[in-house]
Amino acid sequence: MVVLRKLPGMPGWPAALGLRLPQKFLFLLFLSGLLTLCFGALFLLPDSSRFKRLFLPRRATASASSSSSASSSSASSSSTRDTDLPRSPPAAAEPRHASPAAPRRLREKLRTAARMAGPPARTAPGARQQVQGGEGRPEPATGATPARETRAPFRFDYERFRRSLRHPVRGGRPGEDPETRARRMKIKEMMKFAWDNYKQYALGKNELRPLTKNGHIGNMFGGLRGATVIDALDTLYIMELEEEFQEAKKWVEKSFDLNVNGEASLFEVNIRYIGGLLATYYLTGEEVFKSKALELGEKLLPAFNTPTGIPRGVINLGSGMSWSWGWASAGSSILAEFGTLHLEFLHLSELSGNPVFAEKVMNIRRVLNRVEKPQGLYPNFLSPVTGNWVQHHVSIGGLGDSFYEYLIKSWLMSDKKDLEAKKMYDDALEAIEKHLVKKSAGGLTYIAEWRGGILDHKMGHLACFSGGMIALGAEDAGEERRQRHMDLAAEITNTCHESYARSDTKLGPEAFRFDAGSEAMATRLSERYYILRPEVVESYMYLWRLTHDPKYRQWGWEVVKALEKHCRVEAGFSGIRDVYTTTPTHDNMQQSFFLAETLKYLYLLFCEDDVLSLDDWVFNTEAHPLPVNHTNFKAAVQQ
Ligand code: DMJ
């Protein structure tokens, strides 16, 4: 109405238009309707907060725009807005699916859910102060009661953890044998060479192509980059390659992007990226590694949304959609993939205070405990829909391998408290001993594969990790069993050494057989390659630490010489296509696990036992050290 006030010297504008009284009335009615409509529209527009600010007092503005930006959200901790609204969590602690842009209704639903949940339902000793605000996303306290408002956010006590370690994590020891030291220094030089070339030609790509001097991205990591950086971090640190470690860390801080959209292997992302980040956090205490690991861990959670909770093998890290590998029989999940999450996921719960990660892997264990095992063996393919086996193929090599490894390491990582894992391991090993362990005509012990009751007398390079695993698990068995398992571990490691010793390059093939007169040699052309794999030196390292038999160091040194002779090229290390020729061709690929595992295990083979001591650490399947937890992890789950 103000606009219609008669201005001095001017006729009112209805009058100026020469309207009569009824027309004036109609005109005013129309005009006031129009104004109401325009004013109302300001509040209906999708992002009307800027307009609202013009019309509403400041305090009400902040509260009305509950989907405010991060900056306004943190500013909102000012006391004025708290009086008449549910407390908004600080921006940094928002559940990720309730981002600043998320619709207000969703955010309010989450807050209501958190309020309804009351105090955290599952709390671990110490401080589990977050309320779970949905699948894997911690929701901070909502301010429903004054007591909750004063709670500090969950914080892992890194200093306390470091004090709990029984041994220093790295460094040479005074008075050591000069030859051992020189060999260790040689391996350090190899690591520097591998890293420097990756950095020069492929930094930010997943692997180095050392012949063509460029980078390789591949399709295993769903758009994530820098697999070699993440895999190399802890090795660089342990070897005291300080400058190189800083280069790698800088890349993580500046360039490691988790907002990617692509199809990733749940297993590979977990063992390489999450394992590498967790290990580096525990070694250095640098927050960046922890926060990246937790963020990535959350991105993997949707893969577990299946009828049984057994995750599917492939996940789109952007959309969260997941599916099974096309090659896996009838949409099944793979034992070695869903069975190789336990160590990392317990640590994600440990560091975040959020039990969701631990719950996911404990559920996998429940499903596996329930399902009937043919002859006590675990087949490699399981349906995530029914929870039943899909095919009766059993292997301690590819498709099965690290499932067994994670059973015994779960027990070790729990400071030997997780007796369920130990029993599962003992039972599985007993079935393996009974049905799969064989001796060749030439006296070599090997572990065959099993296809619905028929034995395939073949061992993959991957299966050679089992020497180390069996030795590691033997320690706490009863006297008779301990000796039997140590003998078995030594015999298998010896067989794997034979697979190297019988080749022209002194490097082992991808698979070797014990049939048709063959002993520990590849019989098929397609199995003659070596791609810088670690499993054989991994077993040497464990057997050395547990027996101190000098032959393991000797065998390790043979591998170093063979790598230098056949795999070192001008710009890095490369796999070879045929171990049975002294002039092998190269596959032009420096695998990231060469830096994570092969060189790390070789280096540790020539270190004193207290460098990354087995008392304090377990190595994940990519050789990333995770600390033994001196509290009971199961408390975080409260079954
Ligand atoms: C590594 O990525 C891991 O050791 C995994 O468990 C299987 N094998 C490769 C290296 O050979």
Domains and CATH numbers, the chain: 163-627 (1.50.10.10)
Q: Is 133 in a helix, a strand, or coil? A: coil
Which of 42-46, 254-258, 586-590, 595-599 shows the lowest per-residue confidence on average (mean pLDDT)? Answer: 42-46
Q: Would you state the pLDDT for residue 513?
A: 98
| 495 annotated as ligand-binding | no
Using the atom order of ligand 1, give the atom closest to the CA of residue 535.
Answer: 11
From 26, 233, 193, select the one nearest 568 (Cα to Cα): 193
Amino acid residing at 291 = S
Q: Alpha helices, DSSP H only, in 563-615?
A: 592-593, 599-605
What confidence tens digit (pLDDT) does each residue in 278-310 have? 999 999 999 999 999 999 999 999 999 999 999
Q: Would you state the pLDDT for residue 22?
A: 63
Please give the distance, rounded to the nearest whole angstrom, from the Cα atom of residue 597 to the centre of ligand 1: 8
Please give the distance, rounded to the nearest whole angstrom, from the Cα atom of residue 593 to the centre of ligand 1: 7
Using the atom order of ligand 1, give the atom closest to the CA of residue 591.
Answer: 10
Using the atom order of ligand 1, give the atom closest to the CA of residue 268.
Answer: 2
Amino acid residing at 350 = E
Name the residue of 266, 462, 529, 532 whose CB sits within 8 Å of the most ligand 1 atoms, as the mutation to test its pocket. Answer: 462
Atom 11 of ligand 1, nearest CA residue: 533
H-helix or E-strand spanning residue 88: none
Rounded mean pLDDT, 354-365: 97
Active-site positions read: 268, 401, 510, 535
Share of the chain above pLDDT 70, in %: 75
Which of 173-177, 284-288, 323-327, 465-469 shows the lowest per-residue confidence on average (mean pLDDT)? Answer: 173-177
Indicate whether 547 pLDDT > 80.
yes
Atom 6 of ligand 1, nearest CA residue: 621
User: Measured between alpha carbons, how far is 54 from 48 in angstroms, rounded to an integer?
Assistant: 10
Indicate whether 202 pLDDT > 70.
yes
Indicate whether 562 pLDDT > 80.
yes
Atom 10 of ligand 1, nearest CA residue: 533
Please give the distance, rounded to the nearest whole angstrom, from the Cα atom of residue 601 to the centre of ligand 1: 13
Name the residue of 597, 599, 601, 620 whose CB sits within 8 Å of the most ligand 1 atoms, as the mutation to test its pocket. Answer: 597
With contact defined as beta carbons under 8 Å apart, do 273 and 221 qualify? Answer: yes
With contact defined as beta carbons under 8 Å apart, do 438 and 455 qualify? Answer: yes
- pLDDT category at 630 given cuts 50, 70, 90 is low
Using the atom order of ligand 1, give the atom closest to the CA of residue 336.
Answer: 6
Tell me which DSSP letter residue 238 carries: H
Atom 8 of ligand 1, nearest CA residue: 462
- pLDDT category at 44 given cuts 50, 70, 90 is very low
The helices-and-strands tally (H runs, E runs) of the chain is 26, 21
User: Measured between alpha carbons, how far is 181 from 145 in angstroms, rounded to an integer?
Assistant: 61
What confidence tens digit (pLDDT) does each residue in 498-531 have? 999 999 999 999 999 999 889 999 999 999 999 9
Name the residue of 206, 272, 533, 591 whose CB sits within 8 Å of the most ligand 1 atoms, as the mutation to test its pocket. Answer: 533
Rg, Å, the chain Cα set: 31
Please give the distance, rounded to the nearest whole angstrom, from the Cα atom of residue 280 to the centre of ligand 1: 19
Indicate whether 127 pLDDT > 90.
no
With contact defined as beta carbons under 8 Å apart, do 93 and 143 qualify? Answer: no
What confidence tens digit (pLDDT) does each residue in 148-177 have? 445 677 899 999 999 999 999 997 678 889
User: Measured between alpha carbons, how far is 224 from 258 in angstroms, rounded to an integer?
Assistant: 7
Rounded mean pLDDT, 5-32: 51
Rounded mean pLDDT, 174-200: 96
With contact defined as beta carbons under 8 Å apart, do 300 and 269 qualify? Answer: yes
Indicate whether 101 pLDDT > 60.
no
Instruction: Please give all residues whose beta carbon lies within 6 A of any atom in ligand 1, as ranges.
Output: 402, 462, 533-534, 593, 597, 621-622
* 19-56 exposure pattern, b = at least 16 Cβ within 10 A, e = fewer: beeeeeeeeeeeeeeeeeeeeeeeeeeeeebeebeeeb
Please give the distance, rounded to the nearest whole angstrom, from the Cα atom of residue 322 to the centre of ligand 1: 22
Rounded mean pLDDT, 311-340: 96
Which of 30-39, 70-79, 336-345 shows the lowest per-residue confidence on average (mean pLDDT)? Answer: 70-79
Q: For the chain, how far is it from start to end, CA to CA, in angstroms?
A: 68
Using the atom order of ligand 1, give the atom closest to the CA of residue 597.
Answer: 4
pTM exceeds 0.85? no
Q: Would you state the pLDDT for residue 173?
A: 75
Please give the distance, rounded to the nearest whole angstrom, from the Cα atom of residue 533 to the centre of ligand 1: 7
Average per-residue pLDDT for the chain: 82
Please give the distance, rounded to the nearest whole angstrom, from the Cα atom of residue 621 to the centre of ligand 1: 6
Q: Would you state the pLDDT for residue 171?
A: 78
Using the atom order of ligand 1, give the atom closest to the CA of residue 623.
Answer: 4
